[in-house]
Amino acid sequence: MPFAEIVGQARAVEILQRERRTGRVPHAYLFHGPESIGKKRTALALAMALQCRAADEDACGACSDCRNIAAGYHPDVRVTTPEAKTRGAAEKIYIEQIRSLQQEIALRPMAGRQKIFVVDDAHRLVEQAANAFLKTLEEPPDASVLILVTAFPDRLLATIRSRCRPVRFQPLSPESVAAIVSREKGTGAEEATRLARFAYGSVARVLAADYEAMTKRRAQFLEERRRLTEGGPAALFSVSESFTRNSVEATEFLEFLISWERDLMALTLQGPAAALVHGDCAEALTREAESRRVADLLGRLELLVQSLRWLQSNVNARLVIEAALMPLGGETN
């Protein structure tokens, strides 16, 4: 995947290209931004551009270096990912993995021009591993580039963060997601656009599911939302509890609520001409929008967006979810 195949990250790619062209590639990068928007893919594109002997503006994508990187077995490009020590355990990056990275980084490049190490989900470094890794960042061997990839930079040691050049990745627009979906799944443009709207910017989500599964999921979220608005404090308690146990679902639910409130806002401000994420629910949305005031919608949207940020930065999930959902429970009063 040369840079040309990275969709929707023009700014990040431009920075990386410029640094490569001018010979100013730092020893360590920190690629950060929401999950599943192309950070790791871009890290591999950079690895390709750095290793490819035919690279000009971009990697050629066809030489043995490029092909080996794409296939995942280039001897000088290595990706470290979190592992579970036992089945079902949380995935972490352990000290053994960092030690083996350190042994490798000390060697000279075998086939390429330098050694490139991608550490995916770097916020999952256990403490001991993070401290060991810091040593490598403090004294990086020549001809080596480390690329840390994470959606949660706040969870990294500040001392690690400060030694990396940060590159921020943007959430993907629905158009970008649709372009990726139709490329990866061979879906027609119309279907890809429908799927993309449901993805809230996450490509993995849309590639993993199909339209039917996503519609089902939304129906479930709508039902939870209805319970919240009609069920009072008891519903707030049980819905919050069910989402507290699963932060992935909680994130998805908040993203769904944000998209729904945005649609309500769009309808209130622009009327029937508004472009909706949940266009197939226009009737229900229009009914709901009639009784809502812009100031309330705005307040709720801000709270939801803030809650999503809190959820991603390790604040107690239960508190965040309750705070985010509370105003829904008060709606019918």
64 or 246: CB nearest Zn ion: 64
CA 128 from chain center: how many Å? 25
290 CB-near residues (< 8 Å, 6+ apart) = none
- Minimum distance, C-beta of residue 110 to Zn ion, in the bound complex (Å): 16
Closer to Zn ion at the Cβ: 54 or 84? 54
CB 57, min distance to Zn ion, A? 12
Q: At what angle do helices 127-138 and 95-105 cross, to 10 degrees?
A: 20
| Residue placing its CB nearer to Zn ion in the complex, 64 or 162 | 64
CB 244, min distance to Zn ion, A? 48
> Which of these, 85, 74, 71, 81, lies nearest to 39 by C-alpha position?
81
- Residue 190 CB, nearest approach to Zn ion (Å): 35
Residue with Cβ nearer Zn ion (56 or 290): 56
Q: Dihedrals φ, ψ of 28, to 5°?
A: -145, 135
The distance of closest approach from Cβ of residue 61 to Zn ion in the complex, given in angstroms and rounded to an integer, is 6
Smallest gap from Cβ 52 to Zn ion, in A, equals: 3
With CB atoms as reference, the residue minimizing the distance to Zn ion is 52
Least CB distance from residue 2 to Zn ion, whole Å? 8
- Which one, 63 or 326, has the nearer CB to Zn ion? 63
Tell me whether residue 60 or residue 134 sits nearer to Zn ion (CB atom).
60
Q: Binding residues for Zn ion, per CB under 5 A?
A: 52, 54, 59-60, 63, 66
Three-class SS of the chain: CCHHHCCCCHHHHHHHHHHHHCCCCCCEEEEECCCCCCHHHHHHHHHHHHHCCCCCCCCCCCCHHHHHHHHCCCCCEEEECCECCCCCCCCEECHHHHHHHHHHHCCCCCCCCCEEEEECCHHHECHHHHHHHHHHHHCCCCCEEEEEEECCHHHCCHHHHCCCEEEECCCCCHHHHHHHHHHHHCCCHHHHHHHHHHCCCCHHHHHHCCHHHHHHHHHHHHHHHHHHHHHHHHHHHHHHHHHHCCHHHHHHHHHHHHHHHHHHHHHHHHHHHCCCCCHHHHHHHHHHHHCCCHHHHHHHHHHHHHHHHHHHCCCCHHHHHHHHHHHHHCCCC
CB of 114 to Zn ion, least distance (A): 15
The residue among 17 and 193 lying less far from Zn ion, judged by its C-beta, is 17
Residue 25 or 63 having the CB closest to Zn ion: 63
